[in-house]
Amino acid sequence: MLNLVFQIIGNSLGIYLGTLLIPGFSFGGDMKTLFFAGFILGIANFFLKPVLKIISFPLIILSFGLFSFVISAFILWLTARFVPALQFSGILPLLLATILISIISTILSFFAKK
């Protein structure tokens, strides 16, 4: 449960920092909407990502794990469909935001384990 809370906070922080650092990635909502977007992204990562990884296991193996990044980008894109305040103006901002959110989530999950 605590891990999910850290994941939601990390996702929200990643979305916020992404809007500041990545051109073409915008978020036009308030703090409540930001945490809602982080919650949706966290729930999608928690439930949907393992299913997609199982389904696409052969592609993950063939790409030496890089297809996992495509899955993460797809989940972030899907989150943007559910939260209209979250917008991307192309594939590059989506990919850069995926990298940033993944790094922040990894760092926070490291501290959550300690």
What are the tens digits of pLDDT across the range 61-100? Answer: 999 999 999 999 999 999 999 999 999 999 999 999 999 9
> Is residue 65 left, alpha or beta, with left meaning phi > 0 and alpha meaning psi from -120 to 50?
left
Identify the burial level of 54 via C-beta atoms within 10 angstroms of its C-beta, where 0-12 means exposed, 13-18 middle and 19 or more buried: exposed
Query: What's the pLDDT at 38?
Result: 93
Length of the chain equals 114
* Dihedrals phi, psi of 64, to nearest 5 degrees: 55, 35
Gap between the Cα atoms of 46 and 49, Å rounded: 6
pTM (whole model) above 0.85: yes
Gap between the Cα atoms of 97 and 110, Å rounded: 20
Give the strand pairing for 25-27 and 86-88: antiparallel
Query: What's the pLDDT at 110?
Result: 81
Name the helix (H) or strand (E) containing 102.
Answer: helix 91-113
Show me where the domains of the chain are located.
2-113
Three-class SS state of 66: coil
